[in-house]
Amino acid sequence: MKYALPLCLAPLALGACQSVPYPSSASFRETLDRHVAAIQSRDYQGIVDTITTGDTLTLIFPNGERYDTREQFLAFHREWFADPAWVMVLEPVRVWEGRDYGYALYRTSYDPDGAGPTPGRPAYLSLGFQLEDGQWRLVHDQNTRIETATD
């Protein structure tokens, strides 16, 4: 009988030791929306605030060229955002969120000079976010040009 109470309390004590996910200050969808809005408004600081704080960030261009570092990603965006002419429209195709990784796929139309009315270059934009210290951060950005009439 003197061991009964400790045995009854043991599961409670073990349950208290389980790890609990670190709470996120912004949901995946909120971070995704902020990131996309930063692209469309050429908001460099908005991009900085939504990408990984680590050194590795993969950026793949429609022609297959690849950058692998956060600094390369930021240098590209500094230059790209300095051009006031381009227009990019993003249409969501699919969004998926897991425990520590989230993914979004957009169909994009990119007009490099904003002159219209000719249709922009269609592509898919794939964005991968990872949970880092309770914050969703972009770790993968891939652009794939759509070459066929049907997709």
pLDDT digits (tens, 9 = 90+) for 37-68: 999 999 999 999 999 999 999 999 999 999 99
Look-up of token digits 């990784």: 101
Name the CATH topology of 28-145.
Nuclear Transport Factor 2; Chain: A, (3.10.450)
Q: Residues 95, 104: contact at Cβ < 8 Å?
A: yes
pLDDT surpasses 70 at 108: yes
pLDDT at 25: 56
Report whether pLDDT(75) > 50: yes
Half-sphere exposure of 62 (CA within 13 A, CB side): 13
Answering whether pTM is above 0.95, one says no
Rounded to the nearest angstrom, the gap between the alpha carbon of residue 27 and the centroid of all alpha carbons in its chain is: 12
Flag whether pLDDT at 20 surpasses 50: no
Has residue 22 got a pLDDT over 50?
Answer: no
pLDDT for res 13? 43
Question: So what's the pLDDT on residue 1?
Answer: 47
Calculated CA dihedral for residues 34, 136, 70, 103, nearest 10 degrees: -80
